[in-house]
Chain A
Amino acid sequence: MEYTQQIQYLKEQADLHKERPEAVPFLEQAINLADAHQDQKESFDLRIELIQAIHFYPKPELIFAYFPWLLARCDEDPEKFDSRTVLWYYKWVLEAMPDYLVLSKEQIMGAMDDFERRAREGNYNPKTIYEFRRILAMKLGDSETARIAQAEFEAAPDPTFLDRMLGIANCDACVLNNSVEYEVFLGNDEKAIRMAGPILKGQKTCHSVPHDTYPSLLLPMKRQKREFEAIGFLEKGYKLIKDRPADFIRQAECMRFTALSGDPREGISMFEKHLPNVFQTLQMMGVMKFYQASAVLFSALAQKGTTSLRLIIPGNAPFFREDNVYSCETLAAWFREQASGLASRFDVRNGNDYYTTHLESLYA
């Protein structure tokens, strides 16, 4: 079989497994084939497909293996390789970077500066630059830098119709969702919920919205004593993200909420479903939040009188038991300690105490 036919077959298989983890290995094989035959154009297109498919793969760090090659091709031959497309996905990579403890703050900000340089060279609307500076600052626990970025974001001109069609500006739904998350970050619950109105009414949607919005508003809704509505958000939100294996942060938010306001038994199903992937990834931000949510879940169960549970836990879990019976208090303590350890590491990396403080507030 000619290599092009093989690639076509692999692409078809990937397409048949669209939005499933099985798609990624097929695309990786196709990329290997294209690279082995030095077919840069095919490799470029396949890597773009792979980056989209990684959304549904349990090891999201894979994006870092494949993305830099795309940038290098655009730098080498801007006529042949579309830099706008690559800048679009640069945003996804940039947003993911703070989630990885293997990366230093300098590396993260280095990539942000690189992105900004490219965006300005391409004459793209600067609002996106400030939006991502704000997102990174939030994830690095730096509220002052986030505030400055927010001010610049507000002052920058809105993207025009052409900016949206031909530029790198996020869609309205994402921009609004990101602004909602900023307000949640600041602790402005009421404002966040109000701003999210168009999303919650279904007027603004995209591939990430309201998937991201519902989980991020669960705690704010609870704090605003709107638990009944939040239960509806939990149902809708979890349904949207439950089959996104790498969406640990949203899964954690849903799981935590079941412990605080919903049905902890639902939380147990979520815990069992997502834990295997948590042990496989390098995305420590997701791992930390999942661990913290697990601590809350098992604490809540213990407080409600459930001393032990039969659970399906992967064999490589440090606390794995052959009899599959686990003490809720022991699990709660283990997860709390692990989450706390990770929070400290993030704080050392970021140079502040945001995560240690933030995690403590989530136990309250």
Chain B
Amino acid sequence: MNQYNFQVNLEGILSLLSQHIYSGPQVYLRELLQNGVDAMQARMRLEPGYKGRTTFEVVPAGDGNPPGLIVEDNGIGMTQEEVHQFLATIGSSSKRVLEGEAITDFIGQFGIGMLSAFTVSAEVVVITRKAGSSEPATEWRGRTDGTYTLRTLEGEFSPGTRVYLSAKRDMEDYFEPEKVLNLLRKYGSLLPWEVTFASEGSAKFITGSTVPWLDTPQDVAAVLKSGQLMFSQAFPLAIPLRARSGGVFGVAFVLPYETRPGGQAPHRVYIRRMLVSENAQGLLPEWAFFLQAVVNADDLKPTASRESLYENETLRKCREELGHNIRTWLIETAKREPRQMEALLGIHAVALKGLAVQDEEFFKLFIDLFPFETNMGSMSMGEIRQRFPLIRYTTSTDEFRQVGRILAARNIMLVNAAYIYEHELIARLPVHFSGTDVERLRSQDLGDELEPVPADVTKGAHEFLKRAKEVLSRFRCEPELKQFTPDEVPALYVRDENMQFLRQAEQGRETANAVWASVLDSFTQSYQEAAHASLILNYRNPLVRKLISAPAGPLFTNCIELLYVQALLLGHQPLTSREMGVLNSGLLNLIESSLKD
């Protein structure tokens, strides 16, 4: 029996990496940077006091050669055996598990980071010498066809590693100096090592600058300024972020514009000071959609591509802690800086209402600060509760628009709770505040809120209402007699959502084919009993008063039907064909009647 080794198709692996793991060829720079950082860290463990340095040098194209890149670090380096093992064996990592330190990412764990260099370079040359070893330097040359050579080098080489890349065809852009510099800054500007970029005789430091949100978080102005530079927008406030789970340290900027639930601003996450993602998901709780964060995490795990956060127990706990962090800051700010909180509420009332729905403590502290739309203008809940022990609210903007003005004339306050979270918040008020009661106003209850007519009028109008009911029965509408201002409005049409369904179904049925007419009929039957609509006639209107004493007959029927249609139009209800017919024939009948007279 013969034993064989698995053959690896390097091109296939590269295709897998580039199509399914990495976001683009540019990540090769991050991988090389990470290798340099790992090498320097490893050397520091052996030599405390050692100063790590990594240099990236772009070599311009010339003499028929494509552009190149030389990456040199003075890290731990490798022996020849280690080169065989870690550079030439796919799936073998040089990231050792040392005491108290675990391999924390998949790429490092499986040793495939270096392969990213082959996405941009047909050949990769590595010259390396192990620190603290007398072994000479080793040169390794690997090619995308899966072959490599290895030789021992004569001469003096300082400990560390040099990597030489040469641009593949169509990959020259990724060696363009400005691009390389920008990418290095993007990935590595926070690293606590000396990283420089050199090109055409000049050198620039990538690292070493103060990062306010990380280095001087107490300087709020500087933190806000750094946020502006980072995210290209000015933020009004910054919330410090700290979490033990994940070792997170950073800041969340309050967005300067209103945002909606479900949205997530792109958070920037560094892991051990290397940029992992500019659009990390899952860092903050869902309700924190009004914030944009930048953090460094020492113990969060990246995904296989090292470009986002791996959803595990640590991230979940981190998210909880950060949520608690933000809530505490909001609560403290409300107590100590009410003006700041007012400014925050002015932009992010929706977001904070969402938090109040979920968090009882937050609800109790903030509910009175939240603004609500009422028929007496915008008011804070604190003001509403103070002035109105019974809070009436509607969840329909349509109803609010129709009756709000009328109720205001009776000094009945009505809250428009049609907006997100609002009726949930209002419904909770009685649970937390004993002197506050709430009542949801449904369309069938609206009549009860309007001023009743005197008892003698009710008695005298009994016949009138009976006749009106007969006329309106074919429209599935009940008449009511009330009085309200403005006087010139003779009638209001109010309906519930079931009637909305019926009206739409009727409208659809007018032009539906046989299949769908039958379907609509089936649904209509189901909704009939539950649907409710009223025509609330206004006793203060002169025409209604005349109608009450008008005799039965075609003219009476005509008038009631026209009042009904007029109320529909006032209420922005579309007319069915039947109602349109009533309008046309009704008007003509009235004109004829007047001409006869």
Residues of A within 8 A of B (CB): 10, 13, 15-20, 22, 25-26, 28-29, 31-33, 35-36, 59, 61-62, 64-69, 71-73, 75-76, 97, 102-104, 107, 110-111, 113-114, 282
B520 contact from A62, A64, A114, Cβ within 8 A: A64
Q: 19 additional contacts, CB 8 Å, given A35-B507, A75-B513? A: A16-B419, A17-B260, A22-B420, A25-B397, A25-B398, A26-B418, A28-B500, A28-B504, A32-B500, A32-B573, A36-B573, A62-B501, A65-B501, A68-B509, A69-B507, A72-B508, A72-B513, A102-B525, A111-B516
B102 within 8 A of A: no
Bound Cα distance from A184 to B519, whole angstroms: 30
A20 touches B420 (CB 8 A): yes
Can you offer 24 A-B residue contacts whose CB atoms are under 8 A? A17-B419, A18-B260, A19-B262, A25-B397, A29-B572, A32-B500, A32-B573, A32-B574, A33-B572, A36-B569, A36-B575, A61-B501, A61-B523, A64-B519, A65-B520, A67-B508, A71-B513, A75-B513, A102-B522, A102-B525, A111-B516, A111-B519, A114-B515, A114-B516
Could you tell me the dominant secondary structure of chain B's interface residues? Answer: helix
Q: Mark B195-232, 1 if CB is under 8 A from A, else 0.
A: 00000000000000000000000000000000000000
Chain A residues whose CB sits within 8 angstroms of the CB of B340 once the complex forms: none
B380 within 8 A of A: no
B593 within 8 A of A: no
Chain A's closest residue to B504 (CB) is A65
A243 CB to closest chain B CB (Å) equals 9
B515 touches A107 (CB 8 A): yes
B261 touches A20 (CB 8 A): yes
Chain A residues whose CB sits within 8 angstroms of the CB of B504 once the complex forms: 28, 31, 65-66, 69
Bound Cα distance from A66 to B398, whole angstroms: 19
B512 within 8 A of A: yes
A65 contact from B505, B511, B513, Cβ within 8 A: B505
A40 CB to closest chain B CB (Å) equals 11
A100 CB to closest chain B CB (Å) equals 8
Within 8 A of A (CB), among B247-300: 260-262
Residues of B within 8 A of A (CB): 260-262, 350, 395-398, 418-420, 497, 500-501, 504-505, 507-509, 511-513, 515-520, 522-523, 525-526, 569, 572-575
Chain A's closest residue to B311 (CB) is A236
A68 contact from B398, B420, B500, B516, Cβ within 8 A: B516
Bound Cα distance from A18 to B262, whole angstroms: 8
Bound Cα distance from A258 to B424, whole angstroms: 27
Bound Cα distance from A72 to B577, whole angstroms: 15
A240 CB to closest chain B CB (Å) equals 13
B508 touches A68 (CB 8 A): yes
Chain A residues whose CB sits within 8 angstroms of the CB of B508 once the complex forms: 65-69, 72
Chain B's closest residue to A35 (CB) is B574
A69 touches B511 (CB 8 A): yes
Bound Cα distance from A107 to B398, whole angstroms: 34
B349 CB to closest chain A CB (Å) equals 12
Chain A residues whose CB sits within 8 angstroms of the CB of B507 once the complex forms: 35, 69
Chain A's closest residue to B262 (CB) is A19
Bound Cα distance from A110 to B513, whole angstroms: 11
Bound Cα distance from A28 to B397, whole angstroms: 11
A107 touches B519 (CB 8 A): yes
Chain A residues whose CB sits within 8 angstroms of the CB of B509 once the complex forms: 68
Chain A's closest residue to B261 (CB) is A20
Bound Cα distance from A18 to B419, whole angstroms: 11
A36 touches B513 (CB 8 A): no
Chain B's closest residue to A10 (CB) is B397
Chain A's closest residue to B576 (CB) is A35
Chain A residues whose CB sits within 8 angstroms of the CB of B518 once the complex forms: 107, 110
Bound Cα distance from A62 to B500, whole angstroms: 10
Chain A residues whose CB sits within 8 angstroms of the CB of B419 once the complex forms: 13, 16-17, 22
A111 touches B511 (CB 8 A): no
A102 touches B515 (CB 8 A): no
Chain B residues whose CB sits within 8 angstroms of the CB of A13 once the complex forms: 397, 419
With A17-B419, A18-B262, A32-B573: A111-B515 Cβ-Cβ less than 8 Å: yes
B258 CB to closest chain A CB (Å) equals 8
A246 CB to closest chain B CB (Å) equals 15
A328 CB to closest chain B CB (Å) equals 26
A14 CB to closest chain B CB (Å) equals 11
B542 CB to closest chain A CB (Å) equals 27
Which 7 residue pairs spanning A and B have beta carbons closest together? A35-B574, A72-B511, A68-B516, A65-B504, A68-B508, A68-B512, A69-B508
Bound Cα distance from A64 to B519, whole angstroms: 8
Chain B's closest residue to A6 (CB) is B572
Bound Cα distance from A35 to B520, whole angstroms: 19
Find the residue from B398, B508, B520, B526 having the highest chain A CB count within 10 A.
B508
Chain A's closest residue to B498 (CB) is A59
B488 CB to closest chain A CB (Å) equals 20
Bound Cα distance from A15 to B573, whole angstroms: 22
Chain B residues whose CB sits within 8 angstroms of the CB of A111 once the complex forms: 515-516, 519
Bound Cα distance from A13 to B416, whole angstroms: 13
A64 touches B397 (CB 8 A): no
Chain B residues whose CB sits within 8 angstroms of the CB of A17 once the complex forms: 260, 419-420
A36 contact from B397, B511, B574, Cβ within 8 A: B574
Chain A residues whose CB sits within 8 angstroms of the CB of B516 once the complex forms: 68, 71-72, 111, 114
B519 CB to closest chain A CB (Å) equals 5
Chain A residues whose CB sits within 8 angstroms of the CB of B261 once the complex forms: 20
With A16-B260, A36-B575: A103-B515 Cβ-Cβ less than 8 Å: no
A103 touches B501 (CB 8 A): no
Chain A's closest residue to B526 (CB) is A102
Chain A residues whose CB sits within 8 angstroms of the CB of B497 once the complex forms: 25, 59
Chain A residues whose CB sits within 8 angstroms of the CB of B523 once the complex forms: 61, 64-65, 102, 282
B520 touches A282 (CB 8 A): no
Bound Cα distance from A275 to B287, whole angstroms: 24
Bound Cα distance from A159 to B234, whole angstroms: 49
A315 CB to closest chain B CB (Å) equals 12
Chain B residues whose CB sits within 8 angstroms of the CB of A28 once the complex forms: 500, 504
Chain A residues whose CB sits within 8 angstroms of the CB of B515 once the complex forms: 107, 110-111, 113-114
B569 touches A16 (CB 8 A): no
A265 CB to closest chain B CB (Å) equals 18
B112 CB to closest chain A CB (Å) equals 19
With A18-B260, A36-B573, A114-B515: A68-B520 Cβ-Cβ less than 8 Å: yes
Chain B's closest residue to A24 (CB) is B497
B572 touches A36 (CB 8 A): yes
Bound Cα distance from A29 to B500, whole angstroms: 10
B385 CB to closest chain A CB (Å) equals 23
A71 touches B512 (CB 8 A): yes
Find the residue from A16, A65, A75, A103 having the highest chain B CB count within 10 A.
A65
Chain A residues whose CB sits within 8 angstroms of the CB of B260 once the complex forms: 15-18
Chain A's closest residue to B573 (CB) is A32
Find the residue from A33, A35, A61 having the highest chain B CB count within 10 A.
A35
Bound Cα distance from A113 to B497, whole angstroms: 31
With A19-B262, A65-B504, A65-B523: A25-B396 Cβ-Cβ less than 8 Å: yes
B511 touches A76 (CB 8 A): yes
Chain B residues whose CB sits within 8 angstroms of the CB of A32 once the complex forms: 398, 500, 572-574
Bound Cα distance from A344 to B319, whole angstroms: 47
A278 CB to closest chain B CB (Å) equals 16
A26 contact from B262, B397, B505, Cβ within 8 A: B397
Bound Cα distance from A114 to B573, whole angstroms: 31
A6 CB to closest chain B CB (Å) equals 8
Chain A residues whose CB sits within 8 angstroms of the CB of B501 once the complex forms: 61-62, 65
Chain A residues whose CB sits within 8 angstroms of the CB of B573 once the complex forms: 32, 36
A47 CB to closest chain B CB (Å) equals 9
Chain B residues whose CB sits within 8 angstroms of the CB of A97 once the complex forms: 519
Bound Cα distance from A10 to B509, whole angstroms: 26
A103 touches B505 (CB 8 A): no
Chain B residues whose CB sits within 8 angstroms of the CB of A61 once the complex forms: 501, 523
Chain B residues whose CB sits within 8 angstroms of the CB of A36 once the complex forms: 569, 572-575
Bound Cα distance from A24 to B51, whole angstroms: 63
Chain A residues whose CB sits within 8 angstroms of the CB of B526 once the complex forms: 102, 282
B147 CB to closest chain A CB (Å) equals 32
